[in-house]
A = this chain, B = another copy of it.
Amino acid sequence: MIGRAVIAQIGGPTRVINASLVGAIRAALKNRDTISELWGSLHGPEGLIKGNFIDLSAQNSRTLTRVSRTPSAALYSSRKKIGKDISEEEVFNALKKYNLRFFFYIGGNDSADNANTINEIAKKNGYELTCFHIPKTVDNDLRVNDHTPGFGSAARYVANVFAGDNYDNLSLGGVKLNIVMGRSAGFLTAASALARQKEGDAPHLIYVPEVPFEKEMFLRDLDSAMSKYGRAIIAISEGIEDKEGRPIAWDGKTLDSHGNPQFSGSSFLADELTRWVEESRITKRVRADTLGYAQRSYLETISEQDWKEAYTAGRETVRLAVSGYQSGSVAILRNPRKEYGYNLQLTSLESVAKTPRKMPLEFIKGTNDVTSEFIDYAKPLIGGPLPIRGELKMIRPYLS
C-alpha cells in the first residue's frame, strides 16, 4: 500500500497533543516510499469535508520542533461531532475524493469510535484505507491504556496548583475549594494528591465523579477536616454527581455544542459549593477557584515523560501503518517491573472506542481520598518531583 496520508486532531486540546502530531509527521517523512504525500486536515473532520488541508511535508524541522513543544492542536481542533454534525460517510467520501489512503486521527474515545466506523465503511466499499487512532486526553479515561498522553502534564499542573495553594491556605486559613477538570473520570482531580509532601498537606478532601456526592456528606467531611487541620483545601471534580447521577456542576440549562451539560468555563459548581459552606457556618472564610484551561494548556509546565510518550505514540502509530498493519490504536501499557517503564501495544479501534473508563476502585479511599496505589501509579507520569519547598520549625523562643 502506497499513497497519500492525512492527519487530524479533534476534541479538547492537551499540553502534548502536538508531540504526537510531530512524532507522526517525522515518522511519515522517513517513509516516503509508502506515504507519498502527507497532509494535515485543519479543524479535524471539518478540513476533510471542506478540502481545507496543509502540506505537512513542507514544514521545516525547526518549525516541527517548536510545534512539538506547543500546547493545543496545531492543526486546530473542532467542536463538530462526527456522527452528529458530520457523518462518518461524509468523512469517508472526502478520503475517497482526495485519494487519501492513510488516515491518522488524534483524539479520545469518541474519535476512536469515529475512526472505527470510517474504517468499516471503507472495508464495505472495498476502498483500501489504513486507519489509525492516536490517543490523547487529559481525562485519562481511555480503556486498554494504563494512562493516556496529555494526562501527565495536566496532572503536573494540578499538583503544582495544590502544592502552592497549600501554603496560601496555611498562611491565611479557612476553606479553599478548587474545581478540577474531568467529566466522568476522577484521575485529574485525584492528581491533586501528588501535591502532598507530608501529613496534613493539601488537599484534605478529594471528591471524584466515581463516588456519589451528597451535600450532607460533604459538610460532615468538611467539619471534621476543619477540626483536624484547622483549615481545608478541597479538590472537587467538575463531574461530581449525586446518587441519582445528576451532575452537581450543572446549572440545569447551559449546553455545550455537543448538547452535553456544559461545565468548563462555568463557575456554577464553585459558587454552589461556596454557598453551602457559607450557610453551614463551619468557617467564615471560603474561597473557590475553578481551575481553567491552564490545566490543559499552561505553557511552562510539561511532564517530559508525558511528552516523550505522546511523541512515541504518534511515531509508532505511523510505523505500524507503514509496516502494513491496517487499523487500530496504540495503547500505553505499564511494565510490571518496580521501576517505571512503558510499552506500546497495538489494540483494536473498538477496544478503546465509545465507553470511557473510570478510576479503578483500588485508587479510591473511602468517599473523599485516594489510596497510596494511586500515588504510586500517578507519580512517574508527571515527569519528576515538584520543586523543593518546606516550612519553618515551630520552635518557641524563651520569653524572658
Contact = CB atoms under 8 A, between A and B. Distances in A.
Interface of A: 9, 13, 15, 37, 39-40, 51, 53-56, 58-60, 63, 65-67, 69-77, 79, 98-99, 156, 160-161, 163-165, 167-168, 170-173, 176, 178, 195, 257, 264-265, 267, 270-271, 274, 284-294, 296-302, 386-397, 399-400
B300 A171 contact: no
19 contacts: A54-B393, A55-B396, A56-B392, A63-B390, A70-B389, A71-B168, A71-B389, A73-B167, A73-B171, A74-B167, A79-B172, A99-B400, A161-B299, A164-B293, A176-B293, A290-B290, A290-B292, A294-B294, A299-B389
Given A54-B395, A170-B76, A267 B285 contact: no
Given A66-B389, A285-B257, A299-B387, A267 B293 contact: no
A301 B157 CA distance: 10
Contact of A171 (B15, B72, B173): B72
A397 B39 contact: yes
A392 B75 contact: yes
A392 B399 CA distance: 66
Given A70-B391, A299-B387, 9 more contacts: A69-B388, A70-B389, A70-B390, A74-B391, A76-B170, A77-B171, A99-B400, A164-B294, A176-B293
Contacts of A267: 267, 270-271, 290
A281 to B, nearest CB: 16
Contact of A164 (B77, B291, B299, B391): B299
A300 B55 contact: no
A195 B71 CA distance: 13
A178 B290 CA distance: 12
Contacts of A274: 265
In the complex, the count of this chain's copies comes to 2
A286 B63 CA distance: 30
Contacts of A286: 265
A63 B160 CA distance: 20
Nearest to A76: B171
Nearest to A176: B293
Nearest to A42: B394
